[in-house]
Amino acid sequence: MSTTLLKTGQLIILSGVLFLLAACNPTVTRVDSDSVTDLSGKWNDTDSRLVAEEMIQDVLSRGWLSKFNRSEGKSPTVIVGTVRNLSHEHINTRTFVADMERELINSGEVEFVASASERDEVRSEVKDQDLNSTEETRKALGQEVGADFMLQGSINTIVDAVSGEQARFYQIDLTLIQLGSNRKVWAGQKKIKKTVEKGGFRL
Amino acid sequence: MLIEQAVVLRKNVCQMVCVRSILLIGICILIQSCASYGSHATTMRDGLLQGKPELSLAIAEQKDPDQEEVIASLDKGMLRRINGDYVGSNEILEVAKQEIEKLYGVSITENLAAIAINETLRGYEGDRYEQLLLHAYMAMNYIQIGQIDGARVEMLQANVKMMEWGDEPEEDAFTRYLEGLIYESLGEQDSALISYRKAYTVYKEKGGQQYPVAPVGLKKDLLRLLAKQRLWSEYKSYKKEFNMTKYKPPKVSKKFGELVVILHNGLAPIRGETAIPIFSTEVQQNLRVAFPTYKQHKKRLYTPQVSVNNKRYSMETVEDIDALARYSLGQAMPGIMLRATARAVVKYNTQHSAGESSALAGFLMTITNLITERADTRSWTTLPQAIELKRIKLPVGEHDVQIQMLNTAGQPVDVIKQNVVIKSRRTSFLIKHWSAPVPKLNQVVTQ
């Protein structure tokens, strides 16, 4: 009688230990970078990708490119300005801006110049070359290409919530502004809406 | 035959010893997890009281290396902040935020444990005021590392949280006020006005209870923005309500900027444990229950006084965390007592049934139940006792700012010095923590 009791006790403890051990090993599964993984309902890679896709497709298909080509006889040069995060989440805007930049550069129709933060490092390198590089390979200062357009934007959100349920609406606006004339030549927009429901119970 | 029996017997003994030691370990773990948060907090806060915040941080950092407990992360966040590590503070407070989110919803196992063993086995997600102040402190960290957009994000998150709590709006006055300050420093005056209005509503409705009475500074901010947006009828009615008929909105000049001084003064109260016997009608017995209380009375704070350019300004209390903590515990008390009574009955029954099988088992069970009956003394104790604020209009340029801490006789006991730069029509923030006068040995306190 007492032995069976003990055995059950041991079993319970054993299963507990096993459970604990199982919890120690993280399971890793590799997934395609295009797959949708919505975990918490917050801004994630899928949102960033959707924005990049929409914006790239839009910015390459609009008339500002051909117009500029016709009038200036060269492809436009763009600089990335700031994309302000006015949403309720800490969103890294660099991801979709970098996606856009890559697609535009690779399309061969648009050229990009280094942004304000990137420039400093490049300039210090050029200055360093002035002292240390051979004459043939040395790059001169003051030979940078001035940008024709600046890409600016913002992320805004509207959140509606009652206990346990949320509706999140993201609006991402990007505009290309012609430097000098301040004309807006392109405006891209992407809207994303999600509903998030939280469970009322947990273990 | 005899040998076989002996082997079986030895096996049984072995098993029993084994099971007992496992049980013992289990009880030890339980007791350890019951080691009250209050005593840990007292040691941790000693450093702050002796002017050695780095010691407090070292003690806090030792706790919870897996970063799973909300309370430990909150303490680390606050102490990293006080030690000037704003980025690190935000990292750990973000962890606390995620953990709080995981604790959303009613836990079945934790509630069972709370009824069978004690309340400390429930996940600690922080009281509502603590959850909102988490965002406020993260926002202040962002301000102090110069990322005001990040501060804005935190305020919007606090906003969502308040929205979620819905019908009975549990808004936090200081969080709303800070939100307004952040909006205004970003040039979003329309949003700032809404925040000030909401902050004022909280002060008006709950002022003198869990909140201080509406600060005069906030009233002026409200009137100033109403005038700027030409909402004259509301302006007039507020002017009348505030009894500030002589108020005139100040003129905006390029030669001036603004300094916002925020002082986190003192330390939040600590919960202690009180145990009382209560009579249970169910088992017709007196049963011992433990519950948290604030044993110490509210402490008298030192009065901060800001001086810049030979002018002195008194600060206003914008958040009374001591009052909030006591109020919050008072609100939770009926639930705590209900669970405590239920727990006492459950424990009595386990003792009783164990006692029926053997006297020793009954005795052991009684001891276990006594030891495990602990009150939940957790609360964010590295918070200040009060938050004080003053907005000062200053000419553009560098200024030496002093915050003097005055005792009841009006004598300074300590001074915080800081150089600030004021930019044209911009807001500069000066955010400081002060816990207690540092005992200075062999040193005369100079004014």
Q: Do the domain assignments include residue A29?
A: no
Token pair listed for B274 = 């009180």
Q: pTM of the prediction?
A: 0.84
**Overall average pLDDT of the B151-155 stretch:** 96
How far is B179 from B132, CA to CA, in rounded Å? 12
Domain that holds residue A180: 42-197
**B14: contact with A, CB 8 A cutoff:** no
CATH number of the domain at A102, please. 3.40.50
How is B182-229 classified by DSSP, letter by letter? HHHHTT-HHHHHHHHHHHHHHHHHHBTTTBPPPPHHHHHHHHHHHHHT
Collect all residues of chain A within an 8 Å Cβ-Cβ radius of residue B105: 164, 198-202
DSSP A182: -
**Overall average pLDDT of the B180-188 stretch:** 95
Q: Is ipTM over 0.85? A: no
**Overall average pLDDT of the B4-17 stretch:** 52
Question: Which residues have CB under 8 Å from A105's CB, separation 6+?
Answer: A111, A112
Fold classification of B35-214+251-434 (topology level): 1.25.40
Q: Do the domain assignments include residue A31?
A: no
**Overall average pLDDT of the A64-74 stretch:** 91
Flag whether pLDDT at A140 surpasses 50.
yes
Q: Do the domain assignments include residue A25?
A: no
B164 and A161 within 8 Å at the Cβ level: the answer is yes
Distance, CA of B290 to chain centre: 22
Lowest mean pLDDT among B132-146, B262-276, B341-355: B341-355
**B15: contact with A, CB 8 A cutoff:** yes
Q: A162 to chain B nearest CA, in Å?
A: 4
B105 and A13 within 8 Å at the Cβ level: the answer is no
A203 and B108 within 8 Å at the Cβ level: the answer is yes
Flag whether pLDDT at B139 surpasses 50.
yes
Domains of chain B, by residue range, sit at: 1-33, 35-214+251-434
How far is B445 from B422, CA to CA, in rounded Å? 30
Average pLDDT of chain B is 88
Q: What is the pLDDT of residue B347?
A: 85
Provide the number of structural domains found in chain A: 1
Q: Which residues pair with B275 in a beta bridge?
A: B290
Kindly state the percentage of chain B with pLDDT values over 70: 89
Token pair listed for A152 = 């600016």
Residues in chain A: 203
Residue B47 near residue B59, CB atoms below 8 Å: yes
Per-residue pLDDT band at B6 (split at 50, 70, 90) = low
Q: Do the domain assignments include residue A82?
A: yes
Question: Which residues have CB under 8 Å from A75's CB, separation 6+?
Answer: A65, A68, A69, A108, A109, A110, A111
How far is A45 from B391, CA to CA, in rounded Å? 41
Q: Which of B107, B150, B153 sits opposite A202 (nearest CB)?
A: B107
Distance, CA of A157 to chain centre: 16
**A4: contact with B, CB 8 A cutoff:** no
A101-133 residue pLDDT tens: 888 888 888 999 988 878 889 999 999 998 899
Token pair listed for B53 = 């915040």
Q: Do the domain assignments include residue A176?
A: yes
Q: Do the domain assignments include residue A1?
A: no
Q: Do the domain assignments include residue A148?
A: yes
Q: What is the pLDDT of residue B404?
A: 95
Q: A44 to chain B nearest CA, in Å?
A: 15
Q: Do the domain assignments include residue A113?
A: yes
Q: What is the pLDDT of residue B308?
A: 96
B67-78 residue pLDDT tens: 989 999 999 999
Flag whether pLDDT at A21 surpasses 60.
no
Q: Which of A89, A90, A162 sits opposite B164 (nearest CB)?
A: A162
Flag whether pLDDT at B13 surpasses 70.
no
B106 and A201 within 8 Å at the Cβ level: the answer is yes
